[in-house]
Amino acid sequence: MQLRTFLAKDMKAALVNVRAEMGPEAVIVGSERTKGGGVMVRAALEAVETPAPETGEPANAFDAEYRNTLIRRLREKPAAKPGRRRFDRSELLASFARHRLPDALGHMLAEASAKTNLSDMTLALAAAIDARMKSAPIDFVEAKAFLLMGPNGVGKTAVAAKLAAHAKLAGRNVTLIAADVAGAGAVARLNAFAEHLDAAIVTADSAFVLATTTGDAVAQGTLAIIDTAGFDPRQPKIAAVYAALSKIESVEAVGVLSALSDAEEAAEIASALSRIGAERLIVTAVDLARRAGALAAAAMTSGVRLAYITRSPFVAGGLETLTALALSRLLSEGEQESAQ
């Protein structure tokens, strides 16, 4: 496998360099901002390989299953298709319409893509997305406490378990805190995840208990992950309650949304979550969504940083980062590929 790193002033320049030096089959396997304001892009010419596993046995059967699943998914990641699609504004707007992208966002992206002067439509759109989408994966070694917030049925409990699994692999002890004590089966489901992950679980039936329990976990160096009841953050009264919870010391609020939502609704809810304190966003059910409008709207119109997406309801499915190039492919190529 040929693996190279490119440094450039922006994503547009980086993609041009990758295309020029490695050809159209190069796969972007990672990108991040540099301290100087530029970007660093890693590209490969073959399927991504993972490093050899660390010596020693995993902590438990779940750790082994989780590692093996992530390794398998990386090895099975399809390579980029050869060939190029020339930039065509009308074709791009038609693709946005198929994905139910909000009109204002679609026209803004089309305009920004055209201004890149890149002839490849996917790369032009990726550069436009990169200028607008803020990504922020979690540092599980330094994290202290997360408060998961979002509507009913978006998968907050599964996300809590996925976060716990990643933290365990980073060597952290985890305490799962069930703040939804009234929801039918909510505590039982979180308890099942806790047993599977060998994590502690406690319940908190009031804001005082929640703050105390979280503070105790943080003091012990344990990552606290708080699973809350679903709510509509656009409703002022309930939003005020969660805004207060997000201000608990050491807590970082994380919004959770489903990619199956209507795009306009997703944008509104993501913006509302940001207003009450959500610093990052996790978008679930990307594997089930045939249209990427909700994902794109939530990631690019709310101002909140996108931490991860999920493509599986199972804990072993893990959390995935979403690059600008990956979202560009979903918006400009995904519908075409699914129809073949």
Domain range summary for the chain, segments of one domain joined by +: 145-322
pLDDT digits (tens, 9 = 90+) for 129-148: 999 999 999 999 999 999 99
pLDDT digits (tens, 9 = 90+) for 198-236: 899 999 999 999 999 999 999 999 999 999 999 999 999
Task: Assign 3 a pLDDT band (cuts: 50, 70, 90).
Answer: low
If we measure between CA atoms, which residue out of 331, 285, 309, 337 comes closest to residue 108?
Answer: 331
Of 5-19, 81-95, 156-170, 229-243, least confident by mean pLDDT is 5-19
Taking the model in full, what pTM does it have?
0.76
pLDDT of 56: 46
Task: Assign 334 a pLDDT band (cuts: 50, 70, 90).
Answer: low
Of 17-26, 79-88, 169-178, least confident by mean pLDDT is 79-88
- The stretch 78-82 carries a mean pLDDT of 46
- More confident of the two residues 3 and 162: 162
pLDDT at 340 over 50: no
Distance, in Å, from the CA atom of 135 to the CA atom of 123, rounded to the nearest integer, reads 18
Task: Assign 335 a pLDDT band (cuts: 50, 70, 90).
Answer: very low
Q: 247 Cβ partners below 8 Å, 6+ apart?
A: 277
Q: Mean pLDDT for the chain?
A: 84
pLDDT digits (tens, 9 = 90+) for 19-75: 777 776 676 666 777 666 677 777 776 544 444 444 444 445 555 665 566 556 555
Distance, in Å, from the CA atom of 221 to the CA atom of 216, rounded to the nearest integer, reads 9
Task: Please tell me whether residue 247 adopts helix, strand or coil conformation.
Answer: coil
Distance, in Å, from the CA atom of 238 to the CA atom of 241, rounded to the nearest integer, reads 5
pLDDT of 40: 75
pLDDT digits (tens, 9 = 90+) for 310-324: 998 888 788 999 999
Q: 112 Cβ partners below 8 Å, 6+ apart?
A: 127, 128, 131, 132
Percentage of the chain beyond pLDDT 90 is: 61
pLDDT at 1 over 50: yes
pLDDT of 294: 96
Task: Please tell me whether residue 241 adopts helix, strand or coil conformation.
Answer: helix
Fold of the 145-322 domain: Rossmann fold (3.40.50)
Task: Please list, residue by residue across 93-109, b when 16 or more beta carbons sit within 10 angstroms of its beta carbon and e when fewer do.
Answer: bebbebbbbbeebbeeb
- The stretch 276-281 carries a mean pLDDT of 95
pLDDT of 43: 74
pLDDT of 52: 44
If we measure between CA atoms, which residue out of 264, 324, 313, 305 comes closest to residue 284?
Answer: 313
What is the distance of C-alpha 333 from the center of its chain?
Answer: 20
